[in-house]
């Protein structure tokens, strides 16, 4: 508990706070999380200030600048701390709010910890009274209607907004004055680091949720974990997506002897490393080297997954721990995989993805088992992946096309591996795979028996949305097909060109007389189709894996 004499409360206007930011007084300690707010939350903060609603206390750890070793070096939301200041104002609680004040005034874009770009120029002030009384919101600026706050708060605002006219300019002035004169309350604490660290965790568990990774980062500032996390993400192509913190922490612990992924076990490994490294510069340098090399291996793992299994983005994986596991293999192997190693990785990938081996109760069993396997595979390239077929074939039919289940994610990788082609034209035109790596096109998924058709035939939604009723087409072809019966549009494709069989093979679609697609009875035909296509999908899964994945019963 902090003593009262070590706490000092001060009020500072927003104008003063912005000046302190420009002077480089504020600093982000290593225990702090990264910037996590989005644009709407930033607008809410400014609207609260405008309405004179309390926005909470800002907690500052005021220390001599000799304590700069606790600074977060790779943090780009606030200006860096200036050595001209005699004291460092570490933001223990309130860094999101202080960061938003600065960024809204600047009006630029920042990528938050979730990998989403926040465009602060879209925090706007309404030049007319709003019915819902929210005068500040997050949207595009509109000339004469919504003006960006970066213009309102600009030092030369009068000149820049002179075109608005006297009446609206007066409204802008009132807004500007209300914002800049708003009093913010700061609590300056003068205490030891252990007290500050505990205060951070207690404060944040009552506000925005602190995750297990936040708690680990907050208690291990000597290890520079956040800097390493940043380096890992830098190794991965931006379009792939951002790997979460826990799989990264799991891999960091694993290279130092950790065997579990549970939060409690990770905390213990990192805590022990922090304790040992705190006064051991040699150990800190070794950890930095190890983890930097591991970061490079994350990049290699992502490239390997893309090139060998068509994992175009992390959305094609049901769990990020598969990336971490493969990165660990590259770390231990020290070079590219040999022939048998590639074969075993193939067995592991499809068995793990199709069987969701890292889900539920298997999480704490399969991850340690796979750590042991990959370490052994790196040491002995002739090792074999131990796996016994245990997936039910019925699970293929039951899998929903829009879920994040392992079997669904693996299904889309399977379709990409067979190279989707256009079906309604006369040629055999491949659909570029990179199209499915672009967010705008990721929903180009076609129901072979159209949803509207099945709805009219009273087919249950869980069957309609089975992965067995889905293939990858372009949105244009999907619209062209509309709600036509399969026997109708497939007949058109069959009669119009010579590539019908090849096209259907690319999409894993059965075409025989008993396939179900030619049936006049929609319900009966769809039932036949699901059975036949699920058999094809199971066969192709096992062909890709090179091992038996499914039990023989259906």
Tens of each residue's pLDDT in the chain, 554 residues: 444 447 788 999 999 999 999 999 888 876 566 788 899 999 999 999 999 999 988 988 888 776 554 555 555 678 887 888 888 888 888 889 999 999 999 999 988 877 788 999 999 999 987 666 789 999 999 988 999 999 999 999 999 999 998 999 999 999 999 999 999 999 888 766 555 555 554 554 444 455 666 666 555 565 667 777 777 877 887 788 888 888 888 888 888 888 777 777 777 877 788 788 777 888 888 888 888 899 899 999 999 999 999 999 999 999 999 999 999 999 999 999 999 999 999 999 999 999 999 998 888 889 999 999 999 999 999 999 999 888 999 999 999 999 989 999 999 999 999 999 999 888 889 998 888 877 666 667 899 999 999 999 999 999 999 999 999 998 889 889 988 999 999 999 898 878 999 999 999 999 999 999 999 999 999 999 999 999 999 999 999 999 999 987 65
Phi, psi of 525 (to 5 degrees): -65, -40
3-state SS class at 91: strand
Query: How far apart (Å, rounded) are the C-alpha atoms in residues 248 and 231?
Result: 11
Buried b (16+ CB within 10 A) or exposed e, 34-55: bbebebebbbbbbbbbbeeeeb
Write the burial class of residue 119 (CB in 10 Å: 0-12 exposed, 13-18 middle, 19+ buried): middle
Q: Are 81 and 71 in contact (CB under 8 A)?
A: yes
| Angle at 519 (CA atoms; ends 513, 520), nearest 5 degrees | 150
Which residue from 445, 464, 455, 447 is spatially nearest to 527, judged by alpha carbons? 464
Query: How far apart (Å, rounded) are the C-alpha atoms in residues 245 and 93?
Result: 21
DSSP annotation of 466 reads B
| Cα 21 from chain centroid (whole Å) | 30
Which residue from 313, 323, 330 is spatially nearest to 246, judged by alpha carbons? 323
pLDDT of residue 221: 61
- DSSP letter for each residue of 169-195: HHHHHHHHHHHHT-EEEEEEE---HHH
How many residues are listed for the chain in this entry?
A: 554
DSSP annotation of 552 reads S
- DSSP letter for each residue of 231-282: HHHHTS-GGG-PPPHHHHHHHHHHTTT----SHHHHHHHHHHHHHHHTT-HH
Q: Copy the structure tokens of residue 446.
A: 């076609």
Give helix 522-545 / helix 406-417 axis angle, nearest 10°.
80
- % helix, strand, coil for the chain, step of 5: 55, 10, 35
- Under 8 Å CB-to-CB from 432, ≥6 apart: which residues? none
Which residue from 55, 34, 59, 35 is spatially nearest to 45, judged by alpha carbons? 55
Query: How far apart (Å, rounded) are the C-alpha atoms in residues 419 and 362?
Result: 32
Query: How far apart (Å, rounded) are the C-alpha atoms in residues 285 and 459?
Result: 62
pLDDT of residue 195: 59
Buried b (16+ CB within 10 A) or exposed e, 488-518: ebbeebbeebebbeebbebbbbbeeeebbbb
Query: How far apart (Å, rounded) are the C-alpha atoms in residues 375 and 47?
Result: 54
Element containing residue 543 per DSSP (H, E) = helix 522-545
pLDDT of residue 276: 81
Query: How far apart (Å, rounded) are the C-alpha atoms in residues 319 and 404?
Result: 9
Query: How far apart (Å, rounded) are the C-alpha atoms in residues 229 and 270?
Result: 14
DSSP annotation of 430 reads B
Write the burial class of residue 83 (CB in 10 Å: 0-12 exposed, 13-18 middle, 19+ buried): exposed
Which residue matches tokens 């609207």? 47
Q: Are 99 and 206 in contact (CB under 8 A)?
A: no
| Angle at 56 (CA atoms; ends 55, 61), nearest 5 degrees | 130
């Amino acid at each position: 508990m902090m003593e009262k004499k070590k706490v000092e409360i001060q009020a500072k206007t927003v104008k003063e706070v912005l000046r302190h930011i420009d002077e480089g007084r504020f600093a982000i300690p290593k225990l702090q999380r990264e910037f996590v707010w989005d644009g709407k939350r930033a607008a809410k903060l400014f609207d609260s200030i405008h309405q004179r609603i309390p926005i909470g206390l800002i907690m500052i750890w005021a220390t001599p600048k000799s304590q700069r070793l606790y600074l977060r070096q790779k943090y780009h939301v606030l200006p860096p701390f200036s050595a001209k200041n005699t004291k460092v104002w570490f933001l223990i609680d309130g860094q999101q709010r202080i960061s938003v004040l600065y960024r809204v005034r600047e009006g630029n874009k920042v990528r938050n910890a979730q990998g989403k770009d926040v465009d602060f120029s879209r925090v706007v002030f309404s030049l007319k009274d709003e019915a819902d009384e929210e005068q500040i919101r997050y949207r595009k600026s509109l000339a004469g209607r919504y003006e960006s706050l970066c213009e309102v708060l600009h030092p030369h605002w009068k000149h820049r907004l002179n075109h608005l006219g006297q009446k609206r300019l007066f409204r802008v002035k009132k807004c500007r004055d209300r914002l800049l004169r708003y009093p913010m309350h700061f609590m300056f604490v003068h205490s030891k680091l252990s007290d500050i660290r505990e205060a951070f965790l207690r404060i944040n568990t009552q506000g925005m949720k602190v995750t297990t990774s936040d708690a680990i980062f907050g208690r291990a500032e000597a290890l520079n974990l956040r800097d390493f996390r940043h380096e890992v993400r830098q190794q991965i192509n931006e379009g792939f997506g951002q790997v979460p913190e826990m799989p990264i922490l799991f891999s960091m612990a694993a290279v130092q002897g950790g065997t579990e992924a549970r939060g409690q076990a990770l905390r213990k490994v990192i805590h022990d490393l922090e304790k040992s490294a705190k006064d051991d510069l040699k150990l800190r340098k070794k950890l930095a080297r190890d983890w930097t090399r591991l970061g490079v291996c994350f990049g290699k793992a992502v490239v390997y997954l893309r090139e060998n299994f068509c994992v175009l983005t992390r959305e094609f994986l049901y769990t990020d721990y598969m990336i971490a596991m493969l990165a660990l293999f590259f770390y231990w192997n020290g070079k590219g995989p040999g022939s048998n190693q590639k074969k075993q990785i193939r067995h592991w990938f499809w068995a793990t993805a199709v069987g969701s081996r890292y889900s539920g109760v298997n999480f704490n069993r399969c991850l340690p088992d796979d750590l042991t396997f990959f370490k052994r595979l790196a040491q002995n390239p002739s090792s074999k992946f131990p796996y016994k077929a245990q997936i039910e074939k019925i699970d293929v039919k039951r899998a929903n096309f829009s879920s994040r289940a392992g079997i669904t994610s693996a299904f889309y990788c399977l379709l990409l591996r067979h190279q989707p082609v256009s079906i309604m034209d006369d040629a055999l035109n491949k659909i570029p795979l990179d199209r499915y790596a672009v967010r705008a096109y990721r929903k180009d998924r076609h129901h072979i028996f159209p949803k509207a058709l099945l709805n009219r035939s009273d087919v249950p939604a869980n069957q309609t949305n089975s992965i067995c009723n889905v293939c990858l087409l372009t949105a244009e072809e999907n619209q062209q097909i509309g709600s036509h019966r399969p026997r109708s549009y497939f007949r058109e494709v069959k009669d119009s060109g010579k590539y019908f069989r090849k096209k259907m093979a690319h999409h894993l679609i059965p075409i025989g007389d008993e396939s179900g697609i030619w049936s006049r009875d929609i319900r009966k035909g769809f039932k036949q189709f699901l059975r036949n296509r699920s058999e094809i999908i199971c066969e192709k899964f096992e062909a890709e894996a090179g091992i038996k994945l499914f039990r023989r019963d259906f």
